[in-house]
Amino acid sequence: MAAAKYIVGNWKLHGSVQENAARLAALKAGCRSDVALAVCVPFPYLAQAQQALQGSAIAWGAQNVSEHAKGAFTGEVSAAMLTDFGCSCVIVGHSERRSLYGEDDATVARKVQAAAAAGITPIVCVGETLSERERGETAQVVTRQLAAVLVHVSTETKRHMVVAYEPVWAIGTGLAASEEDVREVHALLREQLERAGAANARLLYGGSVKASNAKTLLNIANVDGALVGGASLNAEEFLEIAQAARA
């Protein structure tokens, strides 16, 4: 039997205690156990997510993690701190972290190592910008980004980490990649993972995933789930995406 699809919500810089309470309650009420659901919330709301979702079928995680275990790193949050709040996963190397905060491939690799060492599943994001795509560099960019991680982590980490292909030009734009684009890139990434001894690592697609296109995207070969941005802020739509994953 194939593993359940993995649907992860990335709330980004959104939420309030009141908003979150309603959203988490709705997700908990509508969730079924035949899809693996997780929400990655802003750091201040990890305790709220833990309290609301404890004992449910929904996992929770963070959107970033420090490469450092402890020390004089003001504003950073370590992997050990995330485990204190029951985080099962963390997004690493999101394009917004790369472009806005200067995280390079080496930094992303160290963050993956830190998360894995603490027993947290790293969700490693890779993806090309519009200019890179127009220059025909998609394959070169995504394989370089993934290789930087694979060369530095253990075989065990490779097998359990998650990789999310998020074309930068599709994030938050409403423009999802075409079926052929997704099929080609996911096949490429799967081959790369197989060569690294991580054939069973989950591959997610992210980039303007919504209820209206989820079924199509989730039925593409080598797509094991989705990393959902804006649509995850609407509990009803997020649950519809989960329903598409079941189908």
Q: Among all residues, which ones are annotated catalytic? A: 94, 166
Cβ(46)–Cβ(11) under 8 Å?
no
Question: DSSP string spanning the chain?
Answer: -PPPPEEEEE--S---HHHHHHHHHHHHHH--TTSEEEEE--GGGHHHHHHHHTTSSEEEEES---S-SSSS-TT---HHHHHHTT--EEEES-HHHHHHH---HHHHHHHHHHHHHTTPEEEEEE---HHHHHTT-HHHHHHHHHHHHHTTS-HHHHHH-EEEE--GGGTTTS-PPPHHHHHHHHHHHHHHHHHTT-TT-EEEEESS--HHHHHHHHTSTT--EEEESGGGGSHHHHHHHHHHHH-
Give the pair of three-digit tokens for residue 229: 């941005």
**145: exposed, middle or buried (Cβ count in 10 Å: 0-12, 13-18, 19+):** buried
In 10 A of CB 99, how many CB atoms?
A: 11
Residue type, 113: Q
